[in-house]
Chains A and B, each alone.
Chain A
């Protein structure tokens, strides 16, 4: 018997037991749908986190005061005030791998324009900040080195702040007040979206760090230093050079812990991708348990089917079916069940993940590769769990099978 004939016999047998076939296939449908949905969502989350971290800027190093473990006491970043503007200047002057350096201070406060007000995050940064963060400017010009040196009352605003304070009005040249201090708006930053760790980067005002330090907060230390390395290959070298420079400047003895932390965005990205990748594999593995349960369901029903159809097997053998004809017939039934279940499962899983993705605002794309893997797996499940019942059928004794009631 050739393959098309065998296919016809098998599909017809499945069709004759519609309800049973649907219920048996459901196991595989759910299994494959779960695998496809969870892997797609996992990949979507990975991509989203990846793009958010990349949005911080390429070749970026972040230097924060404090250390994860300082003398046995675990302090949060920023819990000590060890970073000084002179540190930033030293990095800029002495580290050739550092292309741009921007000191930074952070504050949160109320901003007012005429009768509008808006609570937002205020960052004091250097003039090279837009270059460091790869952040384009849509209107006006970002403040320059002279503004920073002079601690000028100028600022650049994010899209959200523009919307909240100005609505449709052109903000360039307008005066806003922060803590009663007037700032002239000189630039509007391009939309950047939510980045990194949940904060909306467009809900932000950027001003010279000198102005914020001296006029607004009355402090001399920094909240962070951003450094952009010359190239991706020099990021690690820059990190090491900065570390030894800062240790020297802060008089840290050999063997003592740093009083600062350097975060490498590339490393962070790699670490996060590693975790999300593991998470995706983990979710996929859990989902494949349901696929195995579906496969056992197929095996169970195929065994029942073989017993029920013993007489049919006997008749087929009597008129000339060989063992492999019978084997093929029952194997094809199992494989047809599992692959059709697999295809429906892939469609269902895709719909599920896209729907879920739109709810949790994660871009889901269904890739060919996981779909092919899922299809192959459903096929393999059919072969694996169908082989035993089919072999059992093919080994029946025709005389006994014919006599079976």
Chain B
């Protein structure tokens, strides 16, 4: 996939129409998402909250192109990806989505630099270009001097910064952060949220944050709440 297939689509980066996801457990249909319609404009900072079992993780997986909806369409920057093959989805993930996970999900015994470079390896970027971009982002995340460090030699906050740099390295359409502060102490949590907020405000990066913590959700401009597979509230965060 190349950049030119992306359409601006009136500034809407994520558009979900009549999306349903049903799991089958022993031939019994278990609806995880009953029906969701949603539009997220470019440059938004959106929080998705809800109790466990509300469907927010399933929704997150679909937004992240890790899973496919049972019904409905999902337009990511104008491309309907809901019927893509696993390999096409891998391409979409590689080019348009940056992931940040609760447990960082960095490759063990692999240096910070190489972890950041990883998406570029799969997009076929030259080594020279990879190193240049990774160094830039490492510096931006305030991790200059930690190039050769392995994840296990870094603190939780530092690891999550490496993960953020990795998420940004392919200049994605959206950043999906799944409980990014779940494994961090309060102070570090706020630091990480501050980094994300700055990315959104200063660089216009679209961020979709999944969390069940209200104070973390409160960093977003818009808060969407899931319950029983449905969106039960979608409010603008007036604190911002």
Contact = CB atoms under 8 A, between A and B. Distances in A.
Interface of A: 1-2, 5, 9, 16, 311-312, 314-325, 398-399, 402
A323 B87 contact: yes
13 contacts: A1-B121, A1-B124, A311-B105, A314-B105, A315-B105, A318-B93, A319-B94, A319-B122, A321-B90, A323-B86, A398-B66, A402-B66, A402-B101
Interface string B40-67: 0000000000000000000001001011
Contact of A320 (B67, B106, B109, B119): B119
B66 A320 contact: no
B118 interface: yes
A16 to B, nearest CB: 6
Nearest to B118: A319
Contacts of A311: 105
B217 to A, nearest CB: 22
Contacts of A315: 105-107, 118
Interface of B: 61, 64, 66-67, 86-87, 90-91, 93-95, 99, 101, 105-109, 118-119, 121-124, 166, 170
B90 to A, nearest CB: 5
Given A16-B109, A314-B105, A319 B119 contact: yes
Contacts of A314: 105
Contacts of A2: 124
A322 B122 CA distance: 8
B169 to A, nearest CB: 9
A402 B105 CA distance: 8
Contacts of A398: 66
Contacts, number: 60
A319 B99 contact: yes
A325 B122 contact: yes
Contacts of B101: 402
Contacts of B118: 315-316, 319
Contact of A321 (B64, B99, B105, B122): B122
Contacts of A324: 87
Contacts of A319: 93-94, 99, 118-119, 122, 166
Contacts of A321: 90, 122
Contact of B90 (A16, A320, A399): A320
Contacts of A318: 64, 66, 93, 99, 105
A311 B110 CA distance: 14
A398 to B, nearest CB: 5
Given A2-B124, A325-B122, A320 B107 contact: no
A320 B91 contact: yes
Nearest to A402: B105
A137 B166 CA distance: 86
Contacts of A317: 90, 93
A402 B106 CA distance: 11
Nearest to B99: A318
A250 to B, nearest CB: 85
Contacts of A320: 90-91, 93-95, 119, 122-123, 170
Q: Which residue, A317, A320, A402, has most C-beta atoms of chain B within 10 A?
A: A320
